[in-house]
Amino acid sequence: MKSNWLETLLNQLYPQSCLLCGAQTDHRSRFCDPCYQSLPFNHHACPRCALPLPADAPAETRCGACLKSELPYASCRTALRYEAPSNHLITQLKFRHQLHLTKPLARLITDRLGELQNPPDLLLPVPLHQQRMRERGFNQAQELARVVAKHYRIPLEDSLVKRARNTKAQSDLSERLRRNNLRHAFRVHGSLQGSRVAILDDVITTGSTINELSKTLQRHGAAEIRVWAVARSTIER
Ligand SMILES: [Zn+2]
Ligand SMILES: [Zn+2]
């Protein structure tokens, strides 16, 4: 979306500083041009699960895991790879309450997706369990989804799905335990019959959270699921 006249005026009145180097910038993304160019964009990635692939991999190459097994979602797209400096920015947002990072990070997602030919019916942020929500004070996926939903004028659905159990932090667990940890982790309060859903998250690590959530949405009638996120780690699913 083009920056509007108000934004242009505000940038002139209150110049912004680049989130990475502090240089003055009027770039709407809040990164100066050299820093924006140096971001670890996830352009070479598996078209199904967004796993970063080598730069010389032919377009539309699927990763080994996606050649072997199917996924409960149609596609996953992320703006960045989860490495420096994107990991630092996401950690700042998530654990240090740097909420001013929400908009710039969400804009990286909309920059990556561009114009949507076939927009989803609703945008669904990965829910946090109530207890974690109380501890953190906000759900970063919900904050990012708000910006993306507004940009594309897609309805935001943030009360239909709840986290049923307070699962352990996935990063502390092995792959097998991750799957067990997430079983029945989500509850849907309503119907998704025939809906085309986009799930939004901050980081996709192995994809076990979005797998479990997608399966739950499918059981409740979702017709098509796609996944959008700021960053994807290089860990295979
Ligand atoms: Zn910079
Ligand atoms: Zn893949």
* CATH classification at residue 49: 3.40.50
pLDDT of 1: 45
pLDDT of 81: 97
Ligand 1 centroid–CA 79 distance in Å is 18
How many structural domains does the chain have? 1
The backbone torsions φ and ψ at residue 152, rounded to the nearest 5 degrees and listed phi first, read -95, 0
- Find the domain containing 134 and state its range: 17-232
pLDDT of 236: 77
The ligand that comes nearest to the alpha carbon of residue 38 is: 1
Answer yes or no: is 219 within a domain: yes
Contacts 24+ apart (CB under 8 A), 137-140: 137/97, 138/97, 138/99, 140/90, 140/93, 140/94, 140/102, 140/202
The backbone torsions φ and ψ at residue 144, rounded to the nearest 5 degrees and listed phi first, read -65, -40
For the chain, the distance separating the N- and C-terminal CA atoms, rounded to the nearest angstrom, is: 33
H helix runs in the chain, sequence order: 5-13, 33-37, 64-68, 86-95, 102-113, 130-136, 140-152, 175-182, 208-219
Q: What is the pTM of this model?
A: 0.89
For ligand 1, a single-atom ion, which residues have Cβ within 5 Å? 18, 20-21, 23, 32, 35
For ligand 2, a single-atom ion, which residues have Cβ within 5 Å? 46, 48-49, 51, 63, 66
Ligand 1 centroid–CA 19 distance in Å is 7
Answer yes or no: is 118 within a domain: yes
Bridge pairing between strands 224-232 and 75-81: parallel
Answer yes or no: is 6 within a domain: no
Task: Identify the segments of the chain with pLDDT beneath 70.
Answer: 1-4, 7, 11, 27, 166-181
